[in-house]
Amino acid sequence: MLNGGNLLFNRESLKPEKVIAGKLLADLIVSSYNKMGCDALNIGAYDLSLGVDFLRKKEKAAKFPFLSANIMDKHGKPVFTPSIVKKINGVKVGIFGICSDKLKLNKIPGGNKLKIANALAKAEETALQLQQQGADYIILLTTLNIRQCRRLGQRDMPIDLIVGSSKRNRISLPILVDDTYIVHVERGGKSVGRLDVSFLGPAGVQALSPAVRYKGKAVGDNLFLLNHFHPLKLDIPDHPEIAPMVKKVEISLSRLRQVKATQSMTIAGGGEKVKMAPGNSYVFAEACNKCHSLQFQRWQKTAHAKAYTSLIKNDKHFDEECISCHALGYSQAGGFTDLHQVGEFANVQCESCHGPGRLHVKSEGKTKLNRDLANGKMCLKCHIEERSPDFDLETYFHNVCGAAAMPKK
């Protein structure tokens, strides 16, 4: 099991208030990768967010090597193990790591003590070394983007497989460039890629069943590759040993946030600000019930009306990363900022979509509210690809609360 890098954090540098949480998560990732039986991790920019010394400590706790052939000290010596050779089922597999040379050293604690060597040149040099050491199959783990991976593939280096994890490339498209196979799994642990590599006998591909032959790809004379991607969906059961480890960290994080939330009334976040006309403010769903009871009853039956409960169930209601889409008016004018004071702002309400309604209610409907909602574009503020992959605007839009959703009289 291999990881292309950018595993431990999701930013190049952590804000001071995120450091404790970041460390807890990094520890959790390393210990769960230990349990899963990881073979090697490449170091990317997002692994260096707390500096080299921190990463070295994590490496001690890991049962697998941290690789990098192009992160050097000032004297040009590699800071991490550049490469390893492993014997797997009798085959000598060489594995090495390369990070993007665009990495911003000034953002990394202690980064002034480092140098990043040219990625392509180092990749070539290390691959040739591995070949000389007798590796039968050579794998590069890298945070280079797909374009750069392709260039590597075209350069006729002895690299059989590139496992990429650039922060920019989110799609997983296995591609073959000359004799190099390139796989790029989505960031953030959203899916697992499995590549079965078989060495073919003298009969070549013909020895395989047609069904298998059709799904995979023969490379060169004797290699056969079969690629699978497994998105990690919520309904996949958790590992019995890892699940409790995750739960424990989630509870610690939740406590941490409770402390922070009470200390600070002004947590940033929430994104784009809603304009608030003078005298207007939020009046909450119950206030609309009086005149729009059909819409109210309809809304009560939707997931929107229970969106905050979903966070509570997952111990995430004090997580500022979640609240903006699961409640009304977080960090907005007339809204709330203290995660402890969510009160009536809980859930996605009428005013999340139609805008603040005080003036509308006061004028008994004469002050117009938002009705066409930019043809549904506003739904996409919350229904982003990452959170709502199956969102189908066409079918949902007219049903969410409008006339189409009402029972026929």
* Piece of the chain touching ligand HEC by CB under 6 A; list 102-110, 200-208, 261-269, 399-407: 399-407
Rounded-to-integer distance, Cα 60 and Cα 310, Å? 38
Nearest distance from C-beta of residue 21 to ligand HEC, angstroms: 12
Task: Find out whether 157 and 199 touch, Cβ atoms under 8 Å.
Answer: no
Q: Please count the other Cβ atoms lying within 10 Å of the Cβ belonging to residue 300.
A: 12
Q: Is residue 267 near ligand HEC by the rule CB under 6 A? A: no
Q: Site for ligand HEC (CB under 6 A): which residue of 310, 331, 334, 338? A: 310
* Piece of the chain touching ligand HEC by CB under 6 A; list 76-84, 131-139, 169-177, 384-392: 384-392
Interface mask toward ligand HEC for 341-360; x: CB under 6 A: -------x-xxxxx--x--x
The residue with tokens 């949480």 is 21
Q: Site for ligand HEC (CB under 6 A): which residue of 129, 191, 252, 388? A: 388
Q: Is residue 397 near ligand HEC by the rule CB under 6 A? A: yes
Task: Find out whether 141 and 3 touch, Cβ atoms under 8 Å.
Answer: yes
Nearest one of 63, 61, 65, 50 to 27, comparing CA atoms: 61
Q: Site for ligand HEC (CB under 6 A): which residue of 80, 299, 318, 345? A: 299
Rounded-to-integer distance, Cα 91 and Cα 286, Å? 68
Residues 6+ apart with CB under 8 A from 33: 1, 3, 7, 41, 62, 64
Rounded-to-integer distance, Cα 203 and Cα 199, Å? 11
Q: Please count the other Cβ atoms lying within 10 Å of the Cβ belonging to residue 244.
A: 11
Residue nearer to ligand HEC on the CB measure, 143 or 349: 349
Token duo for residue 350: 């009428």
Q: Is residue 257 near ligand HEC by the rule CB under 6 A? A: no
Residue nearer to ligand HEC on the CB measure, 7 or 285: 285
Nearest distance from C-beta of residue 318 to ligand HEC, angstroms: 11
Residues 6+ apart with CB under 8 A from 146: 164, 166, 169, 173, 175, 182, 184
- Binders in 63-92 for ligand HEC, by CB under 6 A: none
Q: Site for ligand HEC (CB under 6 A): which residue of 307, 339, 342, 359? A: 307
Q: Is residue 402 near ligand HEC by the rule CB under 6 A? A: yes
Residues that contact ligand HEC, how many (by CB under 6 A): 59
Q: Is residue 317 near ligand HEC by the rule CB under 6 A? A: no
Task: Find out whether 69 and 30 touch, Cβ atoms under 8 Å.
Answer: no
Q: Site for ligand HEC (CB under 6 A): which residue of 85, 146, 218, 378? A: 378
Residue 20's alpha-carbon distances to 26, 133, 215, 221, 257, in angstroms, are: 10, 42, 45, 51, 11
Q: Is residue 325 near ligand HEC by the rule CB under 6 A? A: yes
Query: Can you give the binding site for ligand HEC, defined by CB under 6 A?
Result: 234, 283, 285, 287-288, 290-292, 295-296, 299, 303-304, 306-307, 310-311, 314, 316, 319, 321-322, 324-326, 348, 350-354, 357, 360-361, 364-365, 368-369, 371, 373, 376, 378-379, 381-384, 387-388, 390-391, 396-398, 400-404
